[in-house]
Structure 1
Amino acid sequence: MALGNDRAPIAVVDIGSNSVRLIVYEDESRAPAPLFNEKVLCGLGRTIASSGRLAADGVSRALRALRRFRALIDQLEVANVEVIATAAARDAENGPEFIAQAERVLGRNINVLSGTMEAELAALGVVSGIYAADGFAGDLGGGSLELIDVRGGRLSDAVTMPLGGLRLIDASGGNLKKAREIVDAEFAKVDWLEKGRGRDFYAIGGTWRALARLHMTQTNYPLSVMHNYRISAEDALRFAALLDHQSQSSLAGIRDISSARRETVPYGALVLERLIKQMKPRSVVISVLGIREGLLYSLLSEEERQKDPLLEACANLARQRSRSVANAYELCNWTDALFRAPGPVETPEQKRLRHAACLLSDIGWRAHPDYRGVQSLNLVAHGDFVGVDHPGRAFLALTVYYRNEGLVKDELSQKLVELVDKDTLKRARILGAAFRAAHMVSAAMPGVLPNTPVSYEGNRLIWALPEPYSNLDGERVERRFKALANLVDREPEIRVGTPFQLAAS
């Protein structure tokens, strides 16, 4: 498949205890974009606890799915393919027999992950997609639960337990009371769970995502993005305790839970409830990135790993949608002067988000002028970004909204405003005003902003327009610059003339 720029797609086939999935990524990079994604719920591990073997119907469904996946891989001309299998294939008596069949179907070797490796890859998925992660990652699949301590890029204290949704249903005979006893007995064997006290718990897996989706609906949450969705431990505990008492029939009328997830949600909620009581984290944070993304991350060079996933994703979008990515980078430098003393000083994280906003500032230019604001807002608010929490995502969306709509139309952005504090909102408005002013001079072309800097001088905000840019001054430039100066509590002054005259003034 020809993608240009020497990029070669990579595919990951993940044979899990409940689902079998194929994801084809655009390339191996810090912010890989999925080209194709398909999941088939096969239930391979449904009967392991009671029979010790993979379910026969699950094996048939999995092999059929893998035949289709091979055809898709060939059709997409993907040469680099990684195939992994997890708890069900690892633990079942007939696991080796199934793996041999699956390798013949796929025409490729399959790496059956150990429990420790599964935990480590899940943790690397969190590291790859959550900025400065610090807490415990928990990957709940159909056959097992992996827990591992994550602090930055360092991993420690990993364990795998037979507490996956399907396996727990099988082991308990579908009895939630008995399942609770099984869960508590397994957690009692782990003597380091208290290390998670007061830190984040990163929840990975489809069952926990279904639980979080339901929580979003119940709380009328303003975003539908699942990654980095944060629930306080107290709220998560109450909500999980409520769900783990529900039967499948009582969940049947809830559209936010798919029929395929209804049987496992009460058990996933039970595991989460008992884990929160043991670990006492400060928050539960949903990570949509797990072992597949962790596997990709593990294949990267150290130089590539050190790149910021948010800034990489924003730069990719700028290259695809903006008029000039070079101008976007120049805007990062141009706005640096606005956010240093005596102006509003920023933290390193605020600077990081500002640079991300600069890269996104022009992505809506092809839209109709009447809809640029709302389309840009929706593209950023619901975009496939990682490395940013929800308040940060709201900040980015608000800046591009204000850049296109001005600072007076708040009705379409009002729900996002609920996610940010007053200081963040003001920074979004300042940055939006800066984008509007800068665009009037640069016209989104490179080479202009480095020669037309802004600076503070006493109670004034100065904008220098030396030759040959002096004729770019105009009424709209003055109005937009005045709006920017007002937001930083300064008087505006545009200095027009030669560099010598500017230096002498």
Structure 2
Amino acid sequence: MKYAITDIGSNTIRLTIYDLVDGRPRVLMKKKSQVGLADYIKGNKMTQQGVWRLVHVLKTYEPIYKLFQAEAIFTFATAAIRNVKNSKEVLKTLEEATGLNVDLISGPMEAELGYLGVHSSFTLDAGVHVDIGGGSTEILIHKKDKVLYKNSLDEGSLSLYRQFVSRIFPNKKESKEIKKYIRGKLEDLDLPKVKGSLPIVGVGGTIRACNNLCSELFEPVDYQFSSDGEDLPGRFSLAQSKSISQGLMTFDPVYVRNVLRVCPSRIHTLTPGILILQEVAKVFSCQEIMVSNCGIREGYLIWRLDQDHGKE
């Protein structure tokens, strides 16, 4: 059985086609549409232009559903729609225009779905799961399969760019303002005190893009495989992320060229996203970030299948 999952985010809309192998999601196809829904929000409402832009993208996915003979089509939305005043009207329009029933995911739920997705890929005894999106950042702390904390920061890489950055990359002053602002936001989350340091597991496009850049710019960490063939996570250091943010802030041509080659669609949002990661890492005294190839879409699929199974 094939499953189509569409993830409506603040910056991108992603369609992934899956099947299940031994109960784990296996990717058959991916498609990403760069939409920037956050740019269509005026007065804390999504404009009609933004709604119809979203409808247009979702309609272009219909032939892909048919091509892959997807037997189940699931669609969910996160900060781009949940944070606007007219979210109910937006969802109603989407359903009427596309026939899709869109699940609106809360911030804490988004954090937990990301954790479920990571957990389907590899096991970590304890850690901090961080998902930096365009309009929000999710943080979940777990220990021995028990979730100790989950919450959502109502700022992401795109929203920070729009709020603080005057050109393509934040300058030194703007970077300081972003970091100070994020520190205040993290204090408001009332994060639990933890002894020592906890490893960070990063999911989402910003962290994966940073990992890809680190692989190009620095001596890569050898990729490993476990004895049962399960992929282990990639990783990069906090120091490497600081080199990237510093290089882009100063328009260092080596860093700029690599961003244009490796992740051009994130050229304006990458630095604000990395600054969020650095502030979160500081809270948990973390010097290394592990990167998961699985995240919220895989977690959402697992959750939906559990929900549907429970109704049978």
Give the alignment's TM-score, normalised by structure 1: 0.53
Structure 1 residues 222 and 282, CA, compared in 2 at 3 Å: closer, same or farther? closer
1:411-450 to 2 correspondence within 5 Å?
none
1:59 touches 1:98 (CA, 8 Å); kept in 2? yes
Matches of 2:251 and 2:182 in 1, distance apart? 23
Change (3 A) 1:129 1:196: farther
Counterpart contact for 2:235–2:290, Cα < 8 Å:
yes
Matched, 1:148 2:137: no
1:36 aligns to what? Answer: 29
Q: Which has the higher strand share?
A: 2
Q: How does 1:441-460 map to 2 (within 5 A)?
A: none
Q: 1:27 aligns with which of 7, 10, 20?
A: 20
CA spacing shift, 1:120–1:107, aligned 2, 3 Å: same
Q: 1:44 is matched by which residue type in structure 2?
A: L
Change (3 A) 1:19 1:55: farther
Query: Which residue of 228, 234, 243 corresponds with 2:233?
Result: 228
Q: Distance in 1 between matches of 2:31 and 2:98?
A: 16
**Residues 248 and 219 of structure 1: is their aligned pair in 2 closer, same or farther, counting only changes over 3 Å?**
closer
1:294-325 deviation digits (Å, cap 9, x = unpaired):
112224569x9xxxxxxxxxxxxxxxxxxxxx
Counting only pairs closer than 5 Å after superposition, residues 307-318 of structure 1 correspond to structure 2 as: none
Q: How far off its partner does 1:222 sit?
A: 6.5
Q: Does 1:172 align with 2:171?
A: no
- Give the C-alpha shift of residue 130 in structure 1: 1.6
Q: Deviations over 1:393-426 (max 9, x none)?
A: xxxxxxxxxxxxxxxxxxxxxxxxxxxxxxxxxx
Which AA in structure 2 matches 1:262?
Answer: I
Contact 1:196 / 1:280 at 8 angstroms: preserved in 2? no
Q: Distance in 2 between matches of 1:127 and 1:190?
A: 24
Deviation at 1:23, TM superposition (A): 0.9
- 1:93 aligned counterpart, secondary structure: coil
Matched AA of 2:256: A
Greater Cα shift, 188-197 or 201-210: 188-197
Q: CA deviation at 1:127?
A: 1.2
Within 5 Å, give how 1:254-265 maps onto structure 2.
Answer: 254=258, 255-265=260-270
2:217 is the alignment partner of 1:218: yes
Provide the alpha-carbon RMSD of the alignment.
Answer: 2.7
Q: Distance in 1 between matches of 2:57 and 2:37?
A: 12
Q: Is the 8 A contact 1:88 1:95 kept in 2?
A: no
SS in 2 for 1:288: coil
Equivalence map 1:9-408=2 (5 Å): 9-27=2-20, 29-46=22-39, 48=41, 51-54=43-46, 58-174=50-166, 175-195=174-194, 197-221=196-220, 228-231=233-236, 235-236=237-238, 238-245=239-246, 246-247=248-249, 250=252, 251-254=255-258, 255-281=260-286, 283-299=288-304
Structure 1 29/224 Cα, relative in aligned 2: closer, same or farther at 3 Å?
Answer: same
Q: Tell me how far 1:37 sits from its aligned partner.
A: 1.2
* 1:432 corresponding residue in structure 2: none
Q: Which residue of 2 aligns with 1:376?
A: none
> Matched residue pairs, number?
291
SS at match of 1:65: helix
Q: Which runs of 5+ in 2 are unaligned?
A: 167-173, 225-230
Question: Does the residue aligned with 1:26 lie in a helix, a strand or coil?
Answer: strand
1:193–1:241 CA distance, 2 compared to 1 (3 A): farther
Seen in structure 2, the aligned counterparts of structure 1 residues 105 and 170 have a Cα distance that, compared at 3 Å, is same
Distance 1:10 1:248 in 2: 44
The alpha-carbon deviation at position 275 of structure 1 amounts to 1.3
- Which has the higher relative contact order, 1 or 2, with Cα contacts under 8 A spaced 6 or more apart? 2
Change (3 A) 1:152 1:282: farther
| 2:25 alignment partner, SS class | coil
> For residues 182 and 221 of structure 2, what CA distance do their matches in structure 1 show?
34
CA 1:300 to 1:63, structure 2 compared with 1: closer, same or farther past 3 Å?
closer
Distance 1:289 1:81, change over 3 A: same
Deviates more, 1:125-134 or 1:259-268: 125-134
Q: Is the 8 Å Cα contact of residues 153 and 189 (structure 2) preserved in structure 1?
A: no
Q: In the superposition, relative to structure 1, how do residues 224 and 95 fare at CA in structure 2: closer, same or farther (>3 Å)?
A: farther
Matches of 2:25 and 2:208 in 1, distance apart?
Answer: 21
C-alpha distance 284-194 of structure 1, shift in aligned 2 (>3 A):
farther
User: Do the aligned residues in 2 keep the contact of 1:145 with 1:161 (CA within 8 Å)?
Assistant: yes
Identity across aligned pairs (percent)?
Answer: 25
The residue identity in structure 1 corresponding to 2:286 is P
Cα distance in 1 for partners of 2:196, 2:33 equals: 36
Larger CA deviation: 99-108 vs 54-63: 54-63
Q: 1:194 touches 1:280 (CA, 8 Å); kept in 2? A: no
| More helix per residue | 1
Q: Which amino acid aligns with 1:31?
A: R
C-alpha spacing 1:55/1:263, structure 2 compared with 1 (3 Å): farther
Give the aligned residue type for 2:208. Answer: R
Contact 1:148–1:155 (Cα < 8 Å) also in 2: yes
Q: Which amino acid aligns with 1:191?
A: D
Structure 1: 5+ residue runs without aligned partners? Answer: 1-7, 305-505
Aligned mates of 2:9, 2:52 — CA distance in 1? 14
